[in-house]
Amino acid sequence: MVQERTQGWSTFIRVTPLPDHIYFIAQMSGQSVIHILSITVIFLAGALINGVSLSPLEWFLCGLWALLGSLPFLAIGTLIGMMKKVDTAAGISNVLYMGLAVCGGMWMPLEIMPKMMQNIGHWLPSYHYGSGAWEIARGQMPNWKNILFLLAYSIVIMLLSKYIRRKQEAV
């Protein structure tokens, strides 16, 4: 999205009657198609190379969670896409996603982190994404709390992206 702005494409899009939310949904949908391909390749490698054996329902649920659970992170990408420079956006996204992974317990369990980090981690989308994945791995459905957190993050971040885009248009 930052590149689209630097190349003038976003200015062209703004003069069309296309609503902001449709633009953001289209951006996220395009990335989701790429995610589906990535998930498929990873699952094939897991099954063929590493001998991972799951039932068709488990494969489906894992893939669905990987896809739908990525929505808040795609929404964060639309927010970062509002930045003016590609280099700035790339740097901030790397630091932000690294921080979310570490603080959300994706690299090490939250239980071994300091209490303050645990309290923060329980509010991050990465924690709820990981928790849902572990629940599926245990043969359970993701907890509704995890689903609602991820959905709420997606909606709030998309609304914030829309607000910022409108503010940028006004300038």
Q: Percent of the chain scored above 70 by pLDDT?
A: 89
Mean of per-residue pLDDT scores for the chain: 88
> Which residue range forms the structural domain that includes residue 19?
2-170
| 55 close to 101: Cβ distance less than 8 angstroms | no
Q: Is the pLDDT of residue 65 over 90?
A: yes
pTM higher than 0.95 for the full model?
no
- Give the total number of structural domains in the chain: 1
Q: Is the pLDDT of residue 17 over 80?
A: no
Q: Percent of the chain scored above 90 by pLDDT?
A: 58
Which ranges in the chain belong to alpha helices (H)?
Answer: 2-6, 9-14, 20-48, 56-68, 71-80, 86-103, 115-121, 125-137, 144-170
